[in-house]
Structure formats: C-alpha cells, structure tokens
Amino acid sequence: MAVATDRRATVVPVRVWRSTVGKKTAMAVSGLMMLLYLVLHMLGNLKVFFGPEDMNGYAHWLRTIGEPVLHHEWFLWIMRPLLLAAVIVHGVAAYQLSRRDIAARPVGYVHRRRPVSYATRTMRWGGIILALFVVWHVLDLTTGTVNPDFRSGEPYHNIVETFSTWYGNAIYIVAMLAVGLHIRHGFRSAALTLGAGGSAARDRALRVTSDALALVLTAGFLSVPIGVMTGLVD
Ligand code: HEM
C-alpha cells in the first residue's frame, strides 16, 4: 500500500526520466537541440570566407539579437543555459543508459560477455571527446584563455590564430571527425526513438539523411581550418 502511494506521489516527469524509454527520449530531444545549434554555428562560421568585417560583424550582430526588447548580449545569455542543460541531460542519460546496459548483461551466469557494438563504443568515446573539445573550444574562442593571441570582439583574428598552430589544427580536426561520426549514428537513433522509423523505406531515408547531415557538418566545420592552412583565410 505504501509502495502504491509512493508511486502515485512521484511526479510524471520523474517517472518518465527514470524509465529507459524516457531517458532515450531525453537523449533524442537534447541531441536534436544541439544538432540545430551546430547547423547554425557551422553556417555562421562560413562568414570567415567573406573576410574580417563580415565575420566580426556577424559576431557583433549575435550580441544584439532581440534589442531593444532584450538588453545587449541577453539573447546569448538565454541560449547558454539552454545549451548547457541539453549537454547535461544528454550526458547524464547516456551514462545512466550505459550503466543499465552493463547491469543487464548476463555476466557470471553465461561466461561470455555480450560484446559492445562498434557503433555504441564509437558513440561513447566520441561523446567524451566532444565534451572535452567543447571545454577547450570555449577556453580558446570564447574566453581566449588558451588562444595564442585572443582579441575580444575579433573572432576572425582569433580563428586565424587558432589554426596557425599545429595543435589547434590537430584538436579541431579530431573533434570535427568525432562530430561527424556522432551525428551519423546519433541522428538516426534519435529519429528512431521518436518514432520516425517503421518501414524499410523510412529506415533507408533516415540513413541517407544522417549520412548527408554528418558529411555536410563535418565538411563545413573542416573548411575553416583548411581555409587558414591553405592561406585562403589569413
Ligand atoms: C572549425 C570549427 C569551429 C569554429 C571555427 C568555431 C568557432 C567559434 C567561435 C569563433 C566562437 C565564439 C563566437 C563568439 O563569441 O561570437 C564559438 C563559440 C561556440 N562554439 Fe564553436 N566553432 C567550431 C566548432 C564547434 C563545434 C564542433 C562545437 C560543438 C561541438 C562548437 C560549439 C561552440 C559553442 C557551444 C560556442 C559558444 C560558447 C559561448 O557560450 O560563447 N563549435 N565557436
């Protein structure tokens, strides 16, 4: 009886979060939010090919969105906690789902462990690499802490500085490849979780869409370090 009362007393969002399907849905929705951000971010980065005025002007414009209703930079400060919440929900759900997966494996009873699939392993390592990359990236191009010569309000200059070092190129190229692999598998998983699959034709369309998204995002992001390395952007 006490158990039944406790169960009723637990609010719906908490019950949903505790369930495996709830965690998968939370991962899908938070992943799609981050994907939308990445598409916009990648397109914004291409401004670098139009020169310092365009790129720096674009960064300035981002800080004025919503004015005069919003104060300077408020839009950015509204987006930051939302994005951070998506990262945390995504990471925590991924960690908890992998703990459940390990706990559900019949170790001891059956001697051979069910192997972790290539895709699952890539997603776990890719996720960790991306989380570490985002910390480096913020220290590099937002706060400037690790940038060789950071100038506030001049992302064009800061980007050129980043990609003028071998380690800057190495870190970003590895991260961009991780982004591509993560999206290639993650987008399809998210779409299946949210019910977009169901037939061979739909599954094929999902595969093509996730491959295309991964390719376009990776190529778009990679074009910036390649642009600096080849002297197209300097
Ligand atoms: C070549 C690739 C990339 C370049 C050149 C680049 C460039 C930049 C620049 C210049 C900023 C600062 C913008 C400003 O303050 O106006 C920024 C911010 C940011 N970037 Fe990237 N980015 C790249 C890839 C990525 C990737 C792959 C991710 C995520 C996985 C990412 C996530 C972020 C985030 C979250 C911020 C906002 C930090 C904040 O709160 O200010 N970026 N990026």
For the stretch 166-220, pLDDT in tens is 999 999 999 999 999 999 999 999 999 999 988 999 999 999 999 999 999 999 9
Peptide bond into 52 cis (omega under 30): no
Q: Which residues pair with 107 in a beta bridge?
A: 110
Query: Separation of 112 CA from ligand 1 center, angstroms?
Result: 43
Nearest to 167 by CA among 138, 217, 133: 133
| Residue nearest to ligand 1 atom 23, measured at CA | 221
Q: Does residue 163 line the site of ligand 1, with CB under 6 A?
A: no
Nearest to 155 by CA among 134, 182, 137, 173: 137
Provide the whole-model pTM: 0.91
Does residue 30 have a pLDDT over 70? yes
Q: Does residue 221 line the site of ligand 1, with CB under 6 A?
A: yes
**Cβ proximity of 2 and 154 under 8 Å:** no
Q: Does residue 41 line the site of ligand 1, with CB under 6 A?
A: yes
**Cβ proximity of 222 and 173 under 8 Å:** yes
Q: Does residue 80 line the site of ligand 1, with CB under 6 A?
A: yes
Supply 76's token pair: 């950015």
Distance CA 92, CA 17 (A): 11
Q: Which residues, including other chains, have CB under 8 Å from residue 168's CB and lie 6 or more apart? A: 140, 161, 162, 225
Supply 2's token pair: 């006490």
Nearest to 29 by CA among 100, 76, 93: 93
Give rounded-to-5 percent helix, strand, coil for the chain: 75, 0, 25
Q: Residue 117 carries which DSSP code?
A: P
* CA distances (Å), origin 173, targets 17, 32, 221: 35, 22, 9
Q: Does residue 33 line the site of ligand 1, with CB under 6 A?
A: no
Q: Which of 142, 151, 162 to mutate to test the pocket of ligand 1 (most atoms within 8 A of CB)?
A: 142
| Residue nearest to ligand 1 atom 36, measured at CA | 138
Q: Which of 83, 141, 156 to mutate to test the pocket of ligand 1 (most atoms within 8 A of CB)?
A: 141
pLDDT of residue 117: 85
What three-state secondary structure class fits 107?
Answer: strand
Min mean pLDDT across 1-10, 33-42, 126-135, 182-191 is at 1-10
Q: Which residues, including other chains, have CB under 8 Å from residue 153's CB and lie 6 or more apart? A: 56, 59, 60
For the chain, what is the mean pLDDT?
A: 93
Please give the number of the atom of ligand 1 that sits closest to the Cα of 138.
38
Please give the number of the atom of ligand 1 that sits closest to the Cα of 79.
40
| Residue nearest to ligand 1 atom 39, measured at CA | 142
Show the domains of the chain with their CATH numbers: 2-229 (1.20.1300)
